[in-house]
Structure formats: structure tokens, C-alpha cells
């Protein structure tokens, strides 16, 4: 029996919001993710919970005392659990609170969704071992994984100011690039624009400067998960990344899904954390009994591409790949928090920790075009006869994620979508 399960996870629960009972919805009553929304003509961001195709205005329902998501997250998991229980009971068939909650509903199609919280800092990790191995083999065929990979969670400091909400378009970045045989670099729009399929953890409870978070307490500092598309300009990156790593190739846009799927909702999909035979055990500060028993999560991840031609033809797009977080991520959420803070670094409410690209082990499971096209050397042929090596203007990339299992109700993250616009003109 999973000790983290309670009445809110019961697979037979049904809601008086009929769209929440559709087996295909991402937002059944067993999910209840949190996000920020505003109504048309109203500039005020509100905290809401998704239920089917509706959003519950939690302030109007009298369930939260603040309109500030960061402030709410910082109150911790017991507050989230109490809200989840109250929402679950109020949204069930036969609830005496139906009339009051019905007045607090708004159709998702009629509200604007923003970033799920204010993001003050962003760290992008490199936990996807299949991605690391495949990309490494493109540049170091005899030694794709560097010696530190299986010992330390690798990460870099990303740019929080250019993180955008799902549904927003962004400009193709410009920068310096250099062909291998060219005597000098060129400057112009990136020709090797790519997506990266990631999962992001949002910090809820901060830790004080100089106070590391131990493994046993690490997940208490995490509010929940979102999908992340860490757009990358591969040609700019190739020229600039040595010796200090990513810079302009990564800082022009990062797209987040709007709903925080809480760790409480993900509890039924816990999985053991296991290293492949022969791999080193984590150092003691990155190990704990609870992490070994249930540190991982079974999340199915997908990338979809809708080209401009597909959109014009009414085609919703084509799925390019699928992978599983449990198989793809070499490090767990708890290990990322523990490692990030072990030097005394203070995480704050709303900080984003990206997983890095979560590819599967097979050649057709790459979480980026860099992998699916072998560095651009093998064009990907789409079902409508278009081809892609890297993204073109007008392309929309949609990330999707969901959890399902025997005896469990399927829950999802909602779409994480972004569209490429032509590069901005200079001067």
C-alpha cells in the first residue's frame, strides 16, 4: 500500500463537472493542478485549479487567502493537502458545496493562463542520460559520457526573465555562428533552432542561505511539476559554449506549461529509483531509503509538431516521439534539491529546476531534433511529406505529459506549446 495515498486518489471518484469524467481529460478530479489565470478585461491574476475543461477560482470559492501563487506555495505541503482534500470533496458528485463552487467556475477556453508563478531563478540540469549519451556520441564517439556524469547532477544557471507561458510565440534568435572551415564567424538568425523536452520542478518552500536541504526533507520543498521546452539554438551554442557553457543559445525563450501538477496528485505514480547494474551508488548526501523506494515517477512524455502547412490544412500535428521520465532521468527530484543546496545555496519559492532533455533509449525517442536527425545529417520526413532537420518559422511544438497505470485514473499536465516567429529585424 502506498502510504501517500488518501481518499482524493480513489480511481472511482466522479465529479459533477461532467467534462472531468471524460477518460481522455488531463484534469479529472484526481488531479486538481494549480495555475494562475485572469478573465477577459480583468488584469488581476488569480489562483485557480483545473477540473475538466473548467477552472475553479479559488479566491471566489473562499479556499485561498492570497492571489499570490508564490506566497501560497511557500506555506508548504500540508496547506496544499488541505486544499486538495477540500476541493476533491466539493467537486464530487453529490457534494453539498456544488452550488457555491459552480459559481466560482470559469471555462478554460475563456480565460488567459499565465506562468504558474513568478520565477525568480532557473537552473537547468542534465539528468537525461539517453540524451547525454546520444549527444555525446555525436561529438565524442569513443567517450560519450564525461567522467563526472554518473557522480554529480550537472546543471547550469538559466535565464528566468525569458521564461514564457504556453501558447506564446517567440522570435527566432540571432547570434554568432561559425562553420568549421570558416576563417571568422558570421552573424544572423539561427539556422539550427531546436526544442528540448523537459520536466520542471517548482520550489515551494525556501531554504535559508547556508542551510543545505537533506535528502529526507528535499521533496517537502517542491510544490509540483510542469512541462518545460528549453528552446536551443544549436549553431549559436556550438560556437559560444566553450569554456563556460550555454549563454545566448538558451536565453531567448523557455516555455512552461501553465498548470502545476502537485506532488500529491503524482503520488500514485511513484516508482523505485534504481541505477543500472554496474553504475556507482550515489554519494551518501544524494541517497536515502525513501528515494530508493519511491524516488522516481512514471510520467509518459510526448513531443508533437504542427507545421504552418499542417495548421493551414486543419491538421492538429504529428507526434514525433515518446519517452518515460522514470527511464530517462538519471537523477531524482530529491537529489536535484539536495545537490543544489549542499553548498548552502538558498532556493526560493518559485525557483524552477529543469530536468534537461528526457529522451528514451531508442533512436526514435530523442527529445530534440538534434537527436532525431543525428545532428541535422538525416532529415525527418513528416506524414504530410514535409521534412525537418531543425525548426522552421511558423512551426509549433507541443509537449504533452501524462500518468496512467492499472487501477489508477489517468492525469495529465496540459499542453506546453510555443510557435517560432521570424527573427526580429535589427536597426
Does 169 share its domain with 129? yes
Phi, psi of 8 (to 5 degrees): -70, -15
Does 104 share its domain with 128? no
pTM over 0.85: yes
Question: How many domains would you assign to the chain?
Answer: 2
The pLDDT of residue 301 is 98
Q: Which CATH number characterizes residue 265's domain?
A: 3.90.850.10
pLDDT in tens, the chain (427 residues): 467 899 999 999 999 999 999 999 999 999 999 999 999 888 899 999 999 999 999 999 999 999 999 999 999 999 999 999 999 999 999 999 999 999 999 999 999 999 999 999 999 999 999 999 999 998 888 889 999 999 999 999 999 999 999 999 999 999 999 999 999 999 999 999 999 999 999 999 999 999 999 999 999 999 999 999 999 999 999 999 999 999 999 999 999 999 999 999 999 999 999 999 999 999 999 999 999 999 999 999 999 999 999 999 999 999 999 999 999 999 999 999 999 999 999 999 999 999 999 999 999 999 999 999 999 999 999 999 999 999 999 999 999 999 999 999 999 999 999 999 999 998 7
Q: Is 130 a known active-site residue?
A: no
Is residue 374 situated within a structural domain?
yes
C-alpha to C-alpha distance for 26 and 413, rounded to whole angstroms: 6
The pLDDT of residue 107 is 98
Is residue 342 situated within a structural domain?
yes
Report the chain's C-alpha Rg in angstroms.
21
The pLDDT of residue 390 is 98
C-alpha to C-alpha distance for 97 and 325, rounded to whole angstroms: 37
- For residue 147, give Cα distances in angstroms to 142, 143, 277, 280: 13, 9, 17, 12
Is residue 427 situated within a structural domain?
no
What letters, b where the CB count within 10 A reaches 16 and e where it falls short, cover 38-59? beeeeeebbbbbbbbbbbbbbb
Domain of residue 290, residue span? 122-421
Does 87 share its domain with 141? no
Does 172 share its domain with 104? no
Is residue 373 situated within a structural domain?
yes
How many other β-carbons are positioned within 10 Å of the β-carbon of residue 63?
A: 18
| DSSP code, position 88 | H
Does 60 share its domain with 153? no
Does 103 share its domain with 179? no
Does 73 share its domain with 126? no
| DSSP code, position 187 | E
Q: Is 202 helix (H, G, I), strand (E, B) or coil?
A: strand
Q: Which of 59, 94, 113 is the last residue of a domain?
A: 113
Q: Which CATH number characterizes residue 60's domain?
A: 2.30.30.230
Catalytic residue among 9, 93, 130, 131: 131
Does 208 share its domain with 140? yes
Does 29 share its domain with 173? no
C-alpha to C-alpha distance for 306 and 291, rounded to whole angstroms: 38
C-alpha to C-alpha distance for 92 and 89, rounded to whole angstroms: 6
Measured over the CA atoms of residue 205, residue 210, residue 215 and residue 216, the dihedral's sign is negative
Does 81 share its domain with 45? yes
Find, among 167, 401, 171, 410, the residue nearest to 306 by Cα. 167
Is residue 2 situated within a structural domain?
no
How would you class 60 by CB atoms within 10 Å of its CB: exposed for 0-12, middle for 13-18, buried for 19 or more?
middle
C-alpha to C-alpha distance for 6 and 68, rounded to whole angstroms: 27
Is residue 394 situated within a structural domain?
yes
Is residue 140 situated within a structural domain?
yes
C-alpha to C-alpha distance for 230 and 196, rounded to whole angstroms: 5
Which residues sit opposite 130 in a β-bridge? none
Does 44 share its domain with 128? no
Does 384 share its domain with 275? yes
Is residue 1 situated within a structural domain?
no
The pLDDT of residue 1 is 46
Q: Which of 83, 113, 143 is the last residue of a domain?
A: 113
Q: Which of 113, 143, 158 is the last residue of a domain?
A: 113
Amino acid at each position: 500500500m502506498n502510504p501517500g495515498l488518501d481518499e482524493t486518489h480513489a480511481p472511482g471518484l466522479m465529479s459533477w463537472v461532467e467534462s472531468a469524467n471524460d477518460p481522455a481529460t488531463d484534469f479529472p478530479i484526481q488531479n486538481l493542478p494549480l495555475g494562475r489565470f485572469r478573465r477577459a478585461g480583468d488584469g488581476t491574476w488569480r489562483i485557480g485549479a483545473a477540473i475538466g475543461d473548467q477552472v475553479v477560482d479559488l479566491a471566489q470559492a473562499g479556499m485561498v487567502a492570497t492571489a499570490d501563487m508564490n506566497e501560497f506555495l511557500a506555506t508548504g505541503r500540508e496547506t496544499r493537502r488541505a486544499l486538495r482534500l477540500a476541493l476533491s470533496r466539493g467537486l464530487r458528485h453529490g457534494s453539498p458545496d456544488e452550488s457555491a463552487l459552480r459559481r466560482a467556475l470559469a471555462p478554460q477556453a475563456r480565460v488567459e493562463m499565465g506562468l504558474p508563478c513568478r520565477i525568480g531563478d532557473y537552473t537547468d540540469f542534465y539528468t537525461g542520460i539517453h540524451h547525454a549519451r546520444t549527444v555525446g556520441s555525436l561529438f565524442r564517439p569513443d567517450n560519450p559520457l564525461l567522467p563526472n556524469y554518473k557522480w554529480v547532477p550537472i546543471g547550469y544557471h538559466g535565464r528566468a526573465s525569458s521564461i514564457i507561458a504556453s501558447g506564446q510565440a517567440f522570435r527566432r534568435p540571432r547570434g554568432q555562428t561559425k562553420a568549421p572551415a570558416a576563417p571568422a564567424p558570421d552573424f544572423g538568425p539561427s539556422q539550427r533552432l531546436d526544442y528540448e523536452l523537459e520536466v520542471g520542478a517548482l520550489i515551494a518552500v525556501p531554504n535559508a542561505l547556508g542551510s543545505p536541504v537533506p535528502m529526507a526533507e528535499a521533496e517537502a520543498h517542491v510544490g509540483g511539476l510542469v512541462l518545460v521546452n528549453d528552446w536551443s539554438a544549436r549553431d549559436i551554442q556550438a560556437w559560444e559554449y566553450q569554456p563556460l557553457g550555454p549563454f545566448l543559445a538558451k536565453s531567448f525563450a523557455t516555455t512552461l506549461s501553465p498548470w502545476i501538477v502537485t506532488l500529491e496528485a503524482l503520488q500514485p505514480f511513484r516508482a523505485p529509483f534504481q541505477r543500472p547494474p554496474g553504475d556507482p551508488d550515489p554519494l551518501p548526501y544524494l541517497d536515502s531509503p525513501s528515494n530508493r523506494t519511491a524516488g522516481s515517477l512514471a510520467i509518459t512524455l510526448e513531443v508533437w509538431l504542427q507545421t504552418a502547412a499542417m495548421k493551414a490544412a486543419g491538421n492538429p500535428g504529428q507526434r514525433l516521439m515518446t519517452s518515460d521520465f522514470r527511464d530517462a532521468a538519471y537523477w531524482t527530484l530529491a537529489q536535484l534539491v539536495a545537490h543544489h543546496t549542499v553548498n548552502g545555496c538558498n532556493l526560493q519559492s518559485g525557483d524552477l529546476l529543469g530536468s534537461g532533455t528526457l529522451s528514451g533509449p531508442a533512436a526514435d525517442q530523442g527529445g530534440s531534433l538534434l537527436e532525431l536527425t543525428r545532428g541535422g545529417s538525416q532529415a525527418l520526413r513528416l506524414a504530410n511529406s514535409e521534412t525537418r532537420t531543425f525548426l522552421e518559422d511558423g512551426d509549433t511544438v507541443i509537449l504533452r505529459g501524462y500518468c496512467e497505470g492499472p487501477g489508477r485514473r489517468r492525469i495529465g499536465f496540459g499542453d506546453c506549446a510555443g510557435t517560432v516567429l521570424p527573427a526580429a529585424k535589427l536597426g
